[in-house]
Amino acid sequence: MKAMTVERDATRPCHACLARAAEVKGKTPIDEVTAMEEFIQARIARYSPDEHKKWIEEFKVPLSTGMTFQTLLRYIYENMDPTLSFRDYRCGRGSCNTCRIKVDGKAIKPCATPVGSAKEVLLEPAGTKVIKDLVISYD
Protein backbone atom coordinates (compact mmCIF):
# COMPACT_ATOMS: atom_id res chain seq x y z
CA MET A 1 0.00 0.00 0.00
CA LYS A 2 1.28 3.41 -0.94
CA ALA A 3 1.56 6.10 1.76
CA MET A 4 -0.44 9.25 1.12
CA THR A 5 0.95 12.67 1.86
CA VAL A 6 -1.35 15.55 2.70
CA GLU A 7 0.04 19.04 2.44
CA ARG A 8 -1.38 21.75 4.62
CA ASP A 9 -0.82 25.44 5.17
CA ALA A 10 1.78 25.56 7.96
CA THR A 11 0.68 29.05 8.96
CA ARG A 12 -2.77 27.81 10.05
CA PRO A 13 -3.45 25.42 12.95
CA CYS A 14 -4.39 21.86 11.96
CA HIS A 15 -7.77 20.34 12.81
CA ALA A 16 -6.27 18.30 15.69
CA CYS A 17 -4.77 21.46 17.21
CA LEU A 18 -8.13 23.23 16.92
CA ALA A 19 -9.93 20.27 18.50
CA ARG A 20 -7.45 20.26 21.42
CA ALA A 21 -7.85 24.01 21.87
CA ALA A 22 -11.63 23.60 21.80
CA GLU A 23 -11.49 20.93 24.54
CA VAL A 24 -9.45 23.25 26.69
CA LYS A 25 -11.60 26.30 26.14
CA GLY A 26 -14.98 24.59 25.79
CA LYS A 27 -15.44 25.81 22.24
CA THR A 28 -15.97 24.02 18.95
CA PRO A 29 -13.17 23.97 16.35
CA ILE A 30 -15.23 26.18 14.05
CA ASP A 31 -15.39 28.83 16.82
CA GLU A 32 -11.61 28.86 16.86
CA VAL A 33 -11.42 29.27 13.08
CA THR A 34 -13.85 32.19 13.00
CA ALA A 35 -12.12 33.82 15.96
CA MET A 36 -8.79 34.01 14.12
CA GLU A 37 -7.96 37.68 13.69
CA GLU A 38 -6.58 39.54 10.72
CA PHE A 39 -4.09 42.31 11.27
CA ILE A 40 -2.83 45.41 9.52
CA GLN A 41 0.77 46.54 9.88
CA ALA A 42 0.60 50.31 10.37
CA ARG A 43 3.89 52.16 9.91
CA ILE A 44 3.55 55.65 11.34
CA ALA A 45 5.85 58.63 10.84
CA ARG A 46 6.58 59.99 14.32
CA TYR A 47 8.08 63.33 15.24
CA SER A 48 9.11 64.52 18.68
CA PRO A 49 9.42 68.31 18.81
CA ASP A 50 11.16 68.12 22.21
CA GLU A 51 13.99 65.96 20.85
CA HIS A 52 13.79 67.23 17.22
CA LYS A 53 13.70 63.55 16.29
CA LYS A 54 11.87 61.75 13.42
CA TRP A 55 11.34 58.00 13.13
CA ILE A 56 8.98 55.38 11.73
CA GLU A 57 7.18 53.20 14.27
CA GLU A 58 5.29 50.00 13.44
CA PHE A 59 2.07 48.78 15.05
CA LYS A 60 0.31 45.48 14.37
CA VAL A 61 -3.41 46.26 14.73
CA PRO A 62 -6.31 43.77 14.61
CA LEU A 63 -8.69 44.62 11.76
CA SER A 64 -12.37 45.08 12.51
CA THR A 65 -15.34 45.33 10.17
CA GLY A 66 -15.82 48.85 8.82
CA MET A 67 -12.60 50.11 10.42
CA THR A 68 -11.55 53.58 9.22
CA PHE A 69 -8.06 55.04 9.49
CA GLN A 70 -9.40 57.20 12.33
CA THR A 71 -10.49 54.15 14.32
CA LEU A 72 -7.14 52.53 13.53
CA LEU A 73 -5.33 55.54 15.04
CA ARG A 74 -7.68 55.54 18.03
CA TYR A 75 -7.02 51.83 18.59
CA ILE A 76 -3.27 52.45 18.65
CA TYR A 77 -3.69 55.44 20.98
CA GLU A 78 -6.02 53.63 23.40
CA ASN A 79 -4.33 50.20 23.40
CA MET A 80 -0.73 50.52 22.32
CA ASP A 81 0.78 53.99 22.58
CA PRO A 82 -0.95 56.91 24.34
CA THR A 83 1.83 59.24 23.17
CA LEU A 84 0.71 59.02 19.52
CA SER A 85 -0.58 62.42 18.36
CA PHE A 86 -3.17 62.89 15.62
CA ARG A 87 -6.22 65.09 15.12
CA ASP A 88 -9.29 63.29 16.39
CA TYR A 89 -12.83 63.78 15.16
CA ARG A 90 -14.22 67.21 14.46
CA CYS A 91 -17.00 66.61 11.98
CA GLY A 92 -16.32 62.85 11.80
CA ARG A 93 -17.81 62.61 8.32
CA GLY A 94 -15.19 63.92 5.92
CA SER A 95 -16.30 67.54 5.52
CA CYS A 96 -14.06 69.71 7.78
CA ASN A 97 -10.68 68.32 6.58
CA THR A 98 -8.95 68.78 9.99
CA CYS A 99 -8.04 65.10 10.41
CA ARG A 100 -6.22 64.93 7.05
CA ILE A 101 -3.14 62.63 6.84
CA LYS A 102 -1.28 60.82 4.07
CA VAL A 103 -1.62 57.07 3.58
CA ASP A 104 0.97 55.55 1.26
CA GLY A 105 1.68 59.03 -0.08
CA LYS A 106 -1.95 59.96 -0.82
CA ALA A 107 -3.81 62.60 1.23
CA ILE A 108 -6.97 61.22 2.83
CA LYS A 109 -9.54 62.08 5.49
CA PRO A 110 -9.10 59.23 7.98
CA CYS A 111 -12.54 59.70 9.56
CA ALA A 112 -14.16 58.91 6.22
CA THR A 113 -11.68 56.46 4.68
CA PRO A 114 -12.04 52.74 5.36
CA VAL A 115 -8.88 50.69 5.90
CA GLY A 116 -10.32 48.03 3.58
CA SER A 117 -8.19 44.96 2.99
CA ALA A 118 -4.79 46.65 3.26
CA LYS A 119 -2.17 44.54 5.04
CA GLU A 120 0.50 47.22 5.43
CA VAL A 121 0.28 51.01 5.23
CA LEU A 122 2.49 54.03 5.83
CA LEU A 123 0.77 56.92 7.64
CA GLU A 124 2.42 60.36 7.45
CA PRO A 125 1.45 63.95 8.21
CA ALA A 126 -0.25 65.69 5.26
CA GLY A 127 1.81 68.86 5.43
CA THR A 128 5.27 70.24 6.03
CA LYS A 129 4.64 72.18 9.28
CA VAL A 130 4.56 69.17 11.61
CA ILE A 131 3.75 69.94 15.25
CA LYS A 132 3.97 66.35 16.54
CA ASP A 133 3.59 62.94 14.84
CA LEU A 134 0.60 63.30 12.45
CA VAL A 135 -0.52 66.75 13.66
CA ILE A 136 0.25 69.62 11.32
CA SER A 137 -0.13 73.36 11.68
CA TYR A 138 -2.77 75.05 9.53
CA ASP A 139 -1.09 78.48 9.86
Residues that bind ligand FES (CB under 6 A): 89-92, 94-99, 109, 111
C-alpha span between 103 and 115 (Å, rounded): 10
Q: Which is nearer to ligand FES, 108 or 130 (CB)?
A: 108
Q: Which is nearer to ligand FES, 61 or 99 (CB)?
A: 99
Q: Which residues contact 19 (CB under 8 A, 6 or more apart)?
A: 29
The answer to whether 38 touches 49, Cβ cutoff 8 Å, is: no
C-alpha span between 75 and 38 (Å, rounded): 15
Q: Which is nearer to ligand FES, 29 or 94 (CB)?
A: 94
Q: How far is the CB of 35 from ligand FES (least distance, A)?
A: 32
Q: How far is the CB of 78 from ligand FES (least distance, A)?
A: 18
Angle, CA of 109, 112 and 114, to the nearest 5°: 105
Q: How far is the CB of 6 from ligand FES (least distance, A)?
A: 50
